[in-house]
Amino acid sequence: MPGFAQTQGPGGRSRYHTESAPLHLLTSERIMLVQIPDVLTPEQIRYCRERLESSPWVDGRVTAGDLAAKSKHNLQLPVDSAEARELGELILTVLGGNATYHSAALPLRVLPPMFNRYDTAMTFGSHVDNAIRTVPGSGGMRIRADVSSTLFLSDPDEYEGGELVIKDLYGSHTVKLPAGHMVVYPSSSLHEVTPVTKGARWASFFWAQSMVKDDGQRSMLYELDLAIIDIRQRLGDDQASVLALVNHYHNLLRRWAEL
Ligand code: NI
């Protein structure tokens, strides 16, 4: 099945088929993490790493809000550096063709990808990302950050610690993925990067404004999309019920999307 949603609810059961589940599980109180493998090819990862090696890293606090800056200790590329722009373009081009990202994030606008680096002893304590962000170089255009993405550029065996930990009502979800893989999660969640105790962790991260603001509605659409893909493979496209489900997906999107 293309794409896989980690619907991390009680007992790991799908919230749509658990009769005893309280209704509030269907709302944005639940978070959905989507891991997308192989967003970048090994050649693209190598190219990114080479360009980043010779880049002008600066203190990461330049882009953090007041509160987040207190717990942030890492390095970033300046958003207007040639390397950040070029590699950001590369990532956006690749994402443009990534069906899982589109299905999970339903992006309306994506901020230029940024790049960070945690050397040994660097960390970013628990924080929340700013809800509204200014698009660099746009003359003040702002977007609402709905969906956060982290694209790993280091392999897990290159560093110790440095896990991305995303929190919801049900606990903490730890993410550490191979280079070239990405995790997509709601910007509304508290999250942190634990201290790197050995080696270095490099990544790209960025925010998107989604056509569907509500995390719960967006997650329902994603799961419906996955189910439709699965059922089309099993039944083929000639079944009236397949067409009816596709129609339902688009009618929900029509009802919930804001452009
Ligand atoms: Ni953050």
Instruction: Write the pLDDT tens digit of every residue in 166-185.
Output: 998 778 999 999 999 999 99
Q: What tokens were used for 89?
A: 């373009």
CB 146 within 8 A of CB 210: yes
Asked if pLDDT for residue 31 goes beyond 70, the answer is no
Share of the chain above pLDDT 90, in %: 79
- CB 173, CB 27: distance < 8 Å: no
In this structure, which residues have their CB less than 5 angstroms from ion ligand 1? 129
pLDDT for the residue numbered 67: 79
Q: What pLDDT is recorded for position 188?
A: 93
CA of 212 to the centre of ligand 1 (A): 21
The yes-or-no verdict on residue 127 having pLDDT over 60 is yes
Give me ligand 1 centre to Cα 130, in Å: 8
Q: So what's the pLDDT on residue 164?
A: 98
The CA 148 to ligand 1 mean position distance, Å, reads 8
Which CATH number is correct for 24-215, 3.30.70.3270, 3.40.50.410, 1.10.3210.10, 2.60.120.620? 2.60.120.620
pLDDT number for residue 105: 98
For residue 228, pLDDT over 90 is answered with yes
Distance in Å, CA 125 to ligand 1 centroid: 9
pLDDT bucket at 64, cuts 50 / 70 / 90:
confident
The number of CA neighbours under 13 Å toward the Cβ of 171 is 8
User: Which of the two residues, 1 and 50, has the higher pLDDT score?
Assistant: 50
Count of residues making up the chain? 259
Q: Which of 27-31, 70-74, 148-152 is least confident?
A: 27-31
In eight-state DSSP terms, residue 138 is: T
Q: What is residue 108's predicted lDDT score, i.e. its pLDDT?
A: 98
- What is the distance in A from the centroid of ligand 1 to the CA of 127? 6
Distance (Å) from CA 128 to ligand 1 centroid: 6
- What is the whole-number distance in angstroms between the Cα of residue 191 and the centre of ligand 1? 6
Tell me how far the alpha carbon of residue 205 lies from the centroid of ligand 1, in angstroms. 9
- What mean pLDDT do residues 237-242 have? 93
- Helix residue ranges per DSSP H, the chain: 42-53, 66-71, 82-96, 99-105, 215-235, 240-256
pLDDT band at residue 30 using 50, 70 and 90 as cut-offs: low
Ligand 1 geometric centre to CA of 173 (Å): 14
Q: pLDDT tens digits, residue range 200-222? A: 999 999 999 999 999 999 999 99
Q: Is 5 or 141 the better-scoring residue by pLDDT?
A: 141
Alpha carbon of 132 to ligand 1 centroid (Å): 13
Tokens standing for 205?
Answer: 């991260």
- What distance in angstroms lies between residue 84's CA and the mean position of ligand 1's atoms? 18
What is the Cβ-side half-sphere exposure of residue 232, based on CA atoms within 13 angstroms?
Answer: 13
Distance 145 CA to ligand 1 centre (A): 11
Could you give the C-alpha distances from 236 to 3, 23, 25, 61, 155, in angstroms and in order?
20, 33, 32, 52, 39
- Residue 62: its pLDDT value, please? 82
For residue 25, pLDDT beyond 60 = no
pLDDT at 66 (0 to 100): 79
Q: How confident is the model at residue 28 (pLDDT cuts 50, 70, 90)?
A: very low
Contacts of residue 120, Cβ cutoff 8 Å, sequence gap at least 6: 196, 197, 198, 199, 200
For residues 186-225, one letter each, b for 16 or more C-beta atoms within 10 angstroms of the residue's C-beta and e for the rest, the string is: bbbbebbbbbbeebebbbbbbbbbbbbbebbbbbbbbbbb
16 — pLDDT class (breaks 50, 70, 90): very low
pTM of the model: 0.87
